[in-house]
Structure 1
Amino acid sequence: MEFVVHSYCLKGARQEPLLPPVTLTPTSLTLTVAELIRLAVAEQIAALLAQHSLQQASVREVLDRQYLSERDILQQASEGAVAMPHASESLDLDLDVGVEAERALKGFETRAFRILHNGVMLQRLDESIELGAPSTLAFIRLLPLIGG
């Protein structure tokens, strides 16, 4: 069975797609949140590479925007504004699915983004979810409003 994961970035009242929707075909209909994230990241990287014609700098920029750390956000906020990184600021352009999955897992743990399964917010990496038709999956990146 296939499931589509949508990724959004919420900026105030606006909702913008950040990563392309990806289709997952898990080997089991019961997954932990960590397994779901690993599957989604692998598919997101594959979709981004195809979408950006193998331009790793563009893919790196999108991934960095999705998983910007809380520390980076707080530091930038203290300087007056939160700005998304650009690929030219990233020195490491090598894309390793395992490394990116670990960044995503850490991002989930630090609440850099949330995951909704059928409208219910998932809380822990070891939490089990039952996928079935229909299942709606959304990764949501929250960005602080200017000034707080």
Structure 2
Amino acid sequence: MEFVVHSYCLKGARQELLLPPVILTPISLTLAVAELIRLTVAEQIAALSAQHGLEQASIREVLDRQYLSERDIFQQASEGAIVMPQASASPVLDVSVEVERALKGFETRAFRVLHNGVMLQRLDESIELSLPSTLAFIRLVPLVGG
């Protein structure tokens, strides 16, 4: 079975599509949240690579927008503005490194994962996929002024 994962960024009352929707074909219908994140990030990188021939630096910029850490957000907010990072890191993407960033981002609540409208809480939490399962990664962006 195939499942679509949508990734959104919530900015106040607006909902923005941040990363392209990706299709997952898991080998099992029971997945831990960590495995769902691993599969999704790998597919997101593949989709971004294929979409419009994006260069590695452009892909990194999109991934940074989704998985920017809460620590980075608070640090930038204390400096007066939250901005998306420039691609200063190596432009060569390592899927395993990006997966680890996403796992850490989930643990620090930089983004949320919803399954059928229910917010998942832990990386080791299991979900049962069935048709129609809805899967969403939601990036929360703090409002200006708190």
- Could you say which TM-score interval applies, normalised by the shorter chain? over 0.9
The aligned residue for residue 94 of structure 1 is 92
The aligned residue for residue 13 of structure 2 is 13
Q: With structure 1 as the length reference, what TM-score do the two structures score?
A: 0.96
RMSD: 0.8
Q: What is the correspondence of 1:1-148 to structure 2 with a 5 Å cutoff? A: 1-87=1-87, 90-148=88-146
Superposition deviation, residue 86 in structure 1: 2.8
Separation in 1 of the partners of 2:58 and 2:20?
13
Runs of 4+ in 1 over 4 A off after TM superposition: none
Separation in 1 of the partners of 2:86 and 2:129?
35
Q: Secondary structure at the match of 1:26?
A: coil
Percent identical pairs in the alignment equals 84
Superposition deviation, residue 54 in structure 1: 4.4
Q: Is the 8 A contact 1:52 1:58 kept in 2?
A: no
Structure 1 gaps, min length 5? none
Quick check: 90-99 or 129-138, which moved more?
Answer: 90-99
Separation in 2 of the partners of 1:139 and 1:22?
11
Q: Secondary structure at the match of 1:19?
A: strand
Q: With structure 2 as the length reference, what TM-score do the two structures score?
A: 0.98
Query: How many residues align structurally?
Result: 146
Superposition deviation, residue 84 in structure 1: 1.3
Superposition deviation, residue 91 in structure 1: 2.6
Structure 2 gaps, min length 5? none
